[in-house]
Amino acid sequence: MPKTTTKEEQPENEQNTTLVGWARQSRAGGALKISIHSDAISNCHTYTTADGTAYIPLVISMAALRRVLAGEQSVTTVSQFSEN
């Protein structure tokens, strides 16, 4: 039997991330509501653009966001990839 190897890929939301908040659809359905925990966001790493403006890079899984918008789940996470 030939030896096969498979690369196990982690879904985006299962990689090394830090939870900073939640995203959900508004009750009226016309907006995406994002709640960020202030202590968690203050511990996130930032990057600075050439003009000196600092930003905090966050991620939301597109697949999970689609499920929220379709009404299949109520919330999804807002996270930051952990620096290694």
Quote the pLDDT of residue 46: 96
pLDDT digits (tens, 9 = 90+) for 7-64: 343 454 456 899 999 999 999 989 999 999 999 999 999 999 999 999 999 999 999 9
3-state SS, residue 20: strand
Residue ranges of domains in the chain: 16-35+58-84
Cβ count near 45 (within 10 Å): 11
| Strand pairing class (17-25; 47-48) | unpaired
